[in-house]
Structures are given as structure tokens and as C-alpha cells.
Amino acid sequence: MQIDAATAHAQLDSIAQQAAAAHWSYSHFLGRLLEPEIAARRQRVINTCLHFSGLPWLKRLSDFDFAFQPAIDRTLIEELATGRFLDEGRNIIFQGSPGVGKTHLAIALGLGCAERGQRMLFLTALDLARRMKTAFAQNRMPHYLKMLTTPKLLIVDEVGYLGLDHEQASLLFQVICSRYEKQSATIITSNKAFSEWGHVFAGDAVMASAALDRLLHRATVINIKGDSYRMKAKRLTGLFPGSVALPDAPKGGLRNKSK
Ligand code: ADP
Ligand code: MG
């Protein structure tokens, strides 16, 4: 690691005095001298990761009210928050009705990734498809595909909220394929059950099934059956009923498939 000597130099005298007084070993002395510079450097890496993350807001697991959403396995979410899924190239699919906390949890895991100094990128499915379409029109597809494949984590939010046309769907499919080939982790949030993914992929059931096959090969699927947090306050006043949960994936289908 390359160290900028400026910080170390500024602290040299005072740390040398402490070292002499407390009879530090050479290695302890060197560690203490370089500690602030290493911390500053680490912070710069984190700031860069956050700057390019595309995260729409910063949400943390500590802000998430698990008691409100008892269907969510908190231990599983906390295990995912260790970031091991990133090294294993595991995908995470959050499914559920609007407002159940899919984006919140995806952002919290993305933030954890950035705070470990690992690059991540957050995009909505529609944004991703639009940008790829532009890149395609400008003959910059290989470059853009690389941009989407290299981050340690890609979060594609709101898959299925708005229909993609066939070209957009096939571009999303290419991203899924190239991340699968590189064994890079992807988080997907969707309000659609897997059985409805044909519609997500512009009515192309073959492409939908091929995309799901890759996504679910190494994946954790979290189907959140619960009420919308957005409606919480309104429901308390009796204005709205609870929301409807998504049906389970078809039996013998692609749910919770693991390597
Ligand atoms: P979804 O993506 O499932 O539609 P969001 O994650 O966008 O839902 O949640 C909607 C809003 O409610 C966000 O501001 C989010 O932070 C908040 N929210 C959702 N669920 C919870 C929860 N269990 N505890 C705290 N805040 C929550
Ligand atoms: Mg959302």
C-alpha cells in the first residue's frame, strides 16, 4: 500500500516521544504512526464508493423496524449484512407488494458494501434499460456492459413495476448473463412473483425463464408477505386496509435454488 507521508511526518515527534516513554516495539511504533493515514485513505475509498453508488437515499438496517414486518427472517438479513454473499457471488431477490421494505433492505445491504470499500451500483430496472438503450444507440454497449459487470454488487430496483419493451428486456437479460458468468452478486427487488416474470421480460417467457435460471442458481429469495410501511400511519387511523402478499413461486420451480 502506498502511504502519503505527510500525516505520518506531522505526527512523528509526538508519537516518537510516546514510543520512547512507553518502550514500544518498532512494529507497534510503526503501526501507530501510520494508523491515521491508513484510516484517512480508507475513508477516501469509502467516499468514492458512495459517490458512484447511485444510492437514492441512505437507509440502514438499524433504521428497519423488524417488529413491523415479522415475516422477515431477521437472522437471515443480518447474515447477509456480513457481506459474505458478495464474495460467494450470491444473488438476493426481494419480492413483495409496494411499501414492505424491499428497497430499504437492498439499500442497507448496498451501503454496507460501499462502507467496506467495495464498489456497488444501484439502478432501477427502467433506468438501467434506458441507459443501456442509449449506450447501444451510441455504439458503447461493451463499455457500458463492463460498467455494470465490474461493481462487486449491482442492485436493480423495481423489476416489474413498469413494462420493458423487448429490446430493453433483452438488454437487462444481457446484464444478468454477464454478472452470472462473472459470479458477481446482484440484488433484485420486484413486486412480481416469478410466475409473472414473462410479463417483466416483454412477454418473452423463454428469456424470462433463462434470466431466472441464472439469477436463482446461487440466490437467496426473500418474499416479504406483510403490510406496507407507507400505509402504517394511515392504517393506524383506519383509512387503509393491509396490503396483499405475493403468491409463492410455482412448486418445483425456481424458488430458493442453491448451488
Ligand atoms: P418497497 O421498496 O417494498 O416498495 P420501501 O423500502 O421503499 O418499500 O419502503 C417505503 C418506505 O417505508 C421507505 O421510506 C422505507 O424506509 C420505509 N420502511 C419500509 N419498511 C420499513 C420498516 N419495516 N421499518 C422502517 N422503515 C420501513
Ligand atoms: Mg421499492
Question: What pLDDT is attached to residue 253?
Answer: 35
Distance from the CA of 59 to the center of ligand 1, in angstroms? 9
The pairing of beta strand 153-159 with beta strand 219-224: unpaired
Beta strands in 130-253 (DSSP E): 153-159, 185-190, 219-224
pLDDT at 236: 62
Do the bridges between strand 219-224 and strand 185-190 make them parallel or antiparallel, or are there none, so unpaired? unpaired
112 lines ligand 1 (CB under 6 A): no
* CA-96 nearest atom, ligand 1: 3
Give the 3-state secondary structure of residue 252.
Answer: coil
Cα–Cα distances in Å, from 204 out to 35, 66, 134, 198? Answer: 55, 37, 22, 5
CA dihedral 173, 179, 182, 184 (to 10 degrees): -160
Looking at the chain, which residues constitute the CATH 3.40.50.300 domain(s)? 61-234
Of 94, 107, 229, best ligand 1 pocket probe by most atoms within 8 Å of the beta carbon: 229
Q: For a substitution probing ligand 1, which of 94, 104, 111, 157 has the most ligand atoms within 8 Å of its CB? A: 104
pLDDT by residue for the chain (259 residues), tens only, comes to 455 567 777 788 888 899 999 999 999 998 888 888 888 889 999 999 999 999 999 999 999 999 999 999 999 999 999 999 999 999 999 999 999 999 999 999 999 999 999 999 999 998 998 898 899 899 998 999 899 999 999 999 999 988 888 988 998 999 999 999 999 999 999 999 999 999 999 999 999 999 999 999 999 999 999 999 988 766 666 655 544 445 444 443 333 333 3
What's the pTM?
Answer: 0.84
Q: Is there an atom of ligand 1 within 6 Å of 99 CB?
A: yes
**Superfamily for the 61-234 domain:** P-loop containing nucleotide triphosphate hydrolases (3.40.50.300)
68 CA: nearest ligand 1 atom: 23
Strand 219-224 vs strand 120-124: parallel, antiparallel, or unpaired? unpaired
Q: Which residues pair with 123 in a beta bridge?
A: 156
